């Protein structure tokens, strides 16, 4: 595959024939915001009304990090490129939670956490390694009868929450400064790190939510090599391209 990162030359590339662009998604952008921005730039570059652009793994708006953006004919490859393991770093806040399990919604449900030791945190985190059943956060894009769960949750509607099998390959607690616990996780496709934060708290008999999140790896691809959105768009505008 043609993979484009910040070390790549963008000269003489026909994006209609396909490429994967590594993008470091900024905070508070949706994954669709990134797709839409690149689609607009590519449509303008080629003078086209339509241009195919997609990605192979959503990041929540309050997460940053690596998105693999597929353009042109490479959008057909997306179903074949959705099973990569992913690595995340971030912070979990103990002793309180939120309805969305991240900072999108207000804190609630305070619980004591002074009974938890650093050793407890390390041992409990390690207990997640392997395959397990994970309850999907209600604020997620998973559909219930064709409607995304987050839309139902925001309306206050009740529904049966779904679960799915997930796998954690590696879990490292990188720092503890209570109530904040920092982590580095390598997991399989479709794992919700917000749910991991929630469940880590539950196992230690407290509440918890995901305070920050960054996707650092998708398969063998690294966020440190990815373009910022502006970097790619600026480079695209000044590069030559193939025409037919």
β-pairing, 3-4 vs 19-25, is parallel
Could you say which of 60, 91, 102, 199 is catalytic? 60
In the annotation, is 60 catalytic?
yes
On the 0-12 / 13-18 / 19+ scale of CB atoms within 10 A, 107 is middle
Residue 123's H or E segment, with its range, is helix 118-126
Q: How many CB atoms are located within 10 Å of the residue 89 CB? A: 19
| Closest alpha carbon to 218 in 191, 181, 183, 196 | 191
At which residue do the structure tokens 């650092």 appear?
Answer: 216
Distance from the Cα of residue 89 to its chain's centroid: 11
List the catalytic residues.
Answer: 60
């Amino acid at each position: 595959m043609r993979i484009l990162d910040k070390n790549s030359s963008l000269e003489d590339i026909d994006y209609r024939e396909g490429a994967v662009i590594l993008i470091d998604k900024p905070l508070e952008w949706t994954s669709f915001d990134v797709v839409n921005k690149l689609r607009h730039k590519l449509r303008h570059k080629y003078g086209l009304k339509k241009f195919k652009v997609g990605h192979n793994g959503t990041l929540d708006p309050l997460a940053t990090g690596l998105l693999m953006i597929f353009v042109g004919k490479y959008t057909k490859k997306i179903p074949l490129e959705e099973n990569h393991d992913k690595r995340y770093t971030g912070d979990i806040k103990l002793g309180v939670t939120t309805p969305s399990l991240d900072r999108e919604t207000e804190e609630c449900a305070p619980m004591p956490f002074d009974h938890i030791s650093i050793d407890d945190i390390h041992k409990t985190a390690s207990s997640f390694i392997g395959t397990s059943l994970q309850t999907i956060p209600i604020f997620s894009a998973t559909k219930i009868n064709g409607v995304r769960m987050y839309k139902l949750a925001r309306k206050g509607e009740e529904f049966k929450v779904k679960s799915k099998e997930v796998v954690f390959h590696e879990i490292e607690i990188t720092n503890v400064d209570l109530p904040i616990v920092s982590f580095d996780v390598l997991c399989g496709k479709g794992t919700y790190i917000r749910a991991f934060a929630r469940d880590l708290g539950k196992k230690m008999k407290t509440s918890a939510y995901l305070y920050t999140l960054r996707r650092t790896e998708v398969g063998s691809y690294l966020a440190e090599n990815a373009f910022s959105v502006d970097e790619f768009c600026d480079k695209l505008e000044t590069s030559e391209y193939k025409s037919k």
